Structure 1
């Protein structure tokens, strides 16, 4: 028997914080770090890290783990960062859902 899926209420207002903005404020600003310095330390391209911190790209699971490995002692946790990204992604896609033109499926009788 098919399960009924509860419709989530549409959330309005501001999008959840981008994990890059969080990292920029809590790590880079707080510790006065440069993108170049951290990119070298974490083994990533400067442009890749810059795009993340400037909210131009999403956080990948690999990058989240790199941040945990580098800054876990500062309270940075990959799971937390990925939850932030997932919450933001879910909010943004909910804002676009009406434009998909998909109607609720109703089986033929």
Structure 2
């Protein structure tokens, strides 16, 4: 059993992925086909990663959608969603 809450995938994007891209938040949002506000909400861990967004993030990062969906599922399961 886990002793710590899983990390929200938005935190991974914010802390690990976005800094390596060397692009603006507006460009990142445009690449993900979402608004800058939607991206800000995701990076602030206020919204979940949807299937379509997982596909887009996975394509942009080159790691596919499953990792992102699994992270979101683990995060949601912790809170009982």
> TM-score when scaled to structure 1?
0.65
1:54 equivalent among 18, 34, 44: 44
Q: Contact 1:20/1:55 (CA < 8 Å) preserved in 2?
A: yes
1:46 & 1:55 partners in 2: Cα distance?
A: 14
Counterpart residue number, 2:65: 78
Number of residue-to-residue matches in the alignment: 81
RMSD between aligned residues = 1.8
Instruction: Spell out structure 1 runs of 4+ moving beyond 3 A.
Output: none
Compare the two structures and name the one with the higher helix fraction. 2
* Counterpart-to-counterpart distance in 2, 1:22 and 1:59: 12
CA spacing shift, 1:14–1:33, aligned 2, 3 Å? farther
Structure with the greater alpha carbon radius of gyration: 1
Q: TM-score, normalised by structure 2?
A: 0.85
Query: Which 5+ residue runs of structure 2 have no aligned equivalent?
Result: none
